[in-house]
Each structure stands twice: as structure tokens, then as C-alpha cells.
Amino acid sequence: MSDLLERLRGRGWRMTAQRRVVAEVLDGDHVHLTADEVHARAVARLPEISRATVYNTLGEMVSLGEVIEVATDKRAKRYDPNAHRPHQHLVCARCGAIRDVHPSGNPLTDLPDSERFGFTVSDVEVTYRGVCPNCATA
Amino acid sequence: MSDLLERLRGRGWRMTAQRRVVAEVLDGDHVHLTADEVHARAVARLPEISRATVYNTLGEMVSLGEVIEVATDKRAKRYDPNAHRPHQHLVCARCGAIRDVHPSGNPLTDLPDSERFGFTVSDVEVTYRGVCPNCATA
DNA sequence: TCCTACAATGGACAATGTCTAAGTCAAGTG
DNA sequence: CACTTGACTTAGACATTGTCCATTGTAGGA
């Protein structure tokens, strides 16, 4: 369990009911919700919360570096509260389930200079795809 | 230079003016256009072509395995005609330029069994991010 | 040349995300 | 504790990207 809300408080982030609810529904391990899913869950706790606020709040948490935006599916962006430890993602091609994974080694070193085209490479994002145990038996 | 049009013909794909134009504007190395960009370029050659046709045609080329869908930016999908050789992508964080790159080793082997959660992992997609030479000097 | 199944069209619709103007409130100040 | 102010929230219009469908057109075989 991470502690998204605590991390945000610790940064002197102005706290409101809306922001607290967004942080609460997003927190946890292997959590990768779309903005709409976050909104749906937030509404369950705070019916007046608007879509715009959810989008704004998620965007700010990303800017603060406390939440990561991931593009594991090609439709909506997903939000991952587990920003305190570098990790990659493993996605089920059938049901879309997502797990956080930690590959051995540093994928950055796999890119030789001759393949860098003069870029200053600073980051790498890896998405593994496969079939989860649940879908494999079905 | 790939030869997208030839590959498609070779598969007995029914050829029309629209399909030919889409294949032509998409062909080349380090080409990663969005559907809208493809449409804009196609219209320049064949003004009557509709958006739906471009989407359909791109979707079919992907189904045939002759074009790859990539999600390097988090907005629109991009289409890469270089499907005949496995490769990854290097993206400039400032201008969005995209290069095809070939990391050493197989990224799949970097994921230990203990991190596979019982999945049958079959594929991996890697996006390197950095700043291109052009943007670095500006 | 004619047929017919497949392809293209255009416009409505859907999903996701952004923006704005006006109202509301958290938190520091006195 | 009330006041003030700038930041936050709201609702809904708008923008972008993508999908669907009924109709019209056409590639390619008979």
C-alpha cells in the first residue's frame, strides 16, 4: 500500500474534499484506473464532484510526480499511484488486467550509442503483453 | 525503404485507388503518422477520400500484420509500416520526433518468472524517451 | 460486358479530454 | 473569529479521435 494522500499532504498541497477523494480512490498497489473510472468511484463518495475536477486533479498529481500516466491500452490514459519505485507493466491481451513488474537490469543500457541518433536518452517505458492465468484457462 | 504496397498486393488484397494512396503515403522508414495525418496526405492526392476509409484501411493493414500500431504519444495512435523487422521506438520529449531503434538483446528475457504472475508473456513494447539533437541546441 | 461481393462515402454518434466563466472555499491575517 | 484573497470547483460547451451504418460505387471474376 502506498500512501498517496500522505505524500501529497507532505508537499503542502492545498487539500480539499475533492482532492482527498481522488487520492483515496486512486491509492493502492497494481491500481491503473482511467480518468473516467476514477470519476465514477469518486462520485460514489462525493456525488457533486465534476469531471473537470477529476481531470485537473489527476493532471496535478502527475505534474507533482506523485502519480504516473501510463498508456498500456490505446484508448484512455491510466493513472498509477505507485510513483515512488521505478517499474514497468505487464498487460493481459484479453482482459486488460495490468500488473506492476520489475525487470532485471536497466533497459536503458540495452540501447547502444549507434542506435541513439544523437538523442540524450533519459527514460524508458516497457510494456509486456501476454495472457493472464485467468484468461488462459477460459 | 519498405515496400508496403508490394507486400499488400502479394497477399491478394483487393486494390482500390483509396487503398493504394493510403499505402503510398504511409510507406517509408521512420514513418509514424497518425490516422489524421495519413488522411490529410491522402486527400492531397485523392481529394474525395473519406476519413472512414482511412480508418478502415489502416485497421485492415494492421490486421494483416503489415502495419504496426504504436502508442508513443498518449493522444492519437500512430501507424508504422515497418512491420517486417522487430524494433522499438525512441521519442523526443520536446518535438515528438520518432526514430525506429534496435536494442541489443531480447527485452523479454529481462522479466524473471517471479515477476510474470503466471502470465504467458509473448510480446514487449519499449519506448525510449529523450531529447533529440535538434531540440537540445535550441 | 455484366454481376456481385466487397469497398468507399458522409454524416451521425461515441469516447476521451480541454477550456472557460462564474461561483465557492481553504487557509493565512489581523 | 471574521475577513480576504487567490486558488479550487463546477457545469457545460467545445475539441479531438475514433466508430458505425445505410447508401452508393466499383474491382475483378464469370
Question: In a 3-state reduction of DSSP, which class is residue A18?
Answer: helix
More confident residue, B2 or B58: B58
Distance between CA atoms of residues B131 and B94, nearest Å: 7
A118 to chain B: closest CA residue: B133
Which among B83, B30, B41, B79 is positioned nearest to B59, based on CA atoms?
A: B79
pLDDT tens sequence across B108-133: 999 999 999 999 999 999 999 999 99
Residue B1 clears pLDDT 60, i.e. is over it: no
Does the annotation place B92 within a ligand binding site?
yes
> Which of B77, B101, B118 lies at the smallest CB-CB distance from A111?
B101
Residue A24 buriedness (CB in 10 A; 0-12 / 13-18 / 19+): middle
CB B18 within 8 A of CB B26: no
- All structural domains of chain B: 4-80 (1.10.10.10), 88-137 (3.30.1490.190)
Task: Note whether A90 contacts B121, CB cutoff 8 Å.
Answer: yes
Residue A1 clears pLDDT 80, i.e. is over it: no
Q: How many CB atoms lie within 10 A of CB A95?
A: 12
Strand order of the β-sheet with B68-70 is B33-34, B78-80, B68-70
Three cell numbers at B73?
A: 504519444
Q: Which residues pair with B34 in a beta bridge?
A: B78
Which pLDDT value is given to residue A92? 94
Which pLDDT value is given to residue B97? 93
Q: Which residues pair with B70 in a beta bridge?
A: B78
Helical spans, DSSP H, in chain A? 4-10, 17-26, 35-45, 51-63, 133-137
Does the annotation place B95 within a ligand binding site?
yes
End-to-end CA distance of chain B: 30
Share of chain A above pLDDT 70, in %: 99
Residue A6 clears pLDDT 70, i.e. is over it: yes
End-to-end CA distance of chain A: 30
pTM for the whole structure: 0.91
Give the H/E segment covering residue B23.
helix B17-26
* Residue A2 binned pLDDT confidence (cut-offs 50, 70, 90): low
Distance between CA atoms of residues A99 and A85, nearest Å: 14
* Chain C bases closer than 7 angstroms to a protein Cβ: 6-12, 15-20, 25-27
Task: Note whether B125 contacts A120, CB cutoff 8 Å.
Answer: no
What angle, 0 to 180 degrees and rounded to 10, lies between the N-to-C axes of helices B17-26 and B35-45?
Answer: 120
What angle, 0 to 180 degrees and rounded to 10, lies between the N-to-C axes of helices A35-45 and A51-63?
Answer: 120
CB B94 within 8 A of CB A84: no
Tell me, in Å, how far CA of A29 is from C1' of C5?
52
pLDDT tens sequence across B33-92: 999 999 999 999 999 999 999 999 999 999 999 999 998 888 899 999 999 989 999 999
A90 to chain B: closest CA residue: B116
CB A57 within 8 A of CB A18: yes
Which pLDDT value is given to residue B2? 58
* Residue A75 binned pLDDT confidence (cut-offs 50, 70, 90): confident
Distance between CA atoms of residues B55 and B49, nearest Å: 11
* CA-based nearest distance B138→chain A, Å: 13
Q: What is the DSSP letter of B76?
A: S
pLDDT tens sequence across B6-38: 999 999 899 999 999 999 999 999 999 999 999
* Residue A80 binned pLDDT confidence (cut-offs 50, 70, 90): very high
CB A18 within 8 A of CB A49: yes
Residue A53 clears pLDDT 60, i.e. is over it: yes
The one-letter code for the residue type at B50 is: S
Question: In a 3-state reduction of DSSP, which class is residue B130?
Answer: strand
More confident residue, B105 or B65: B65
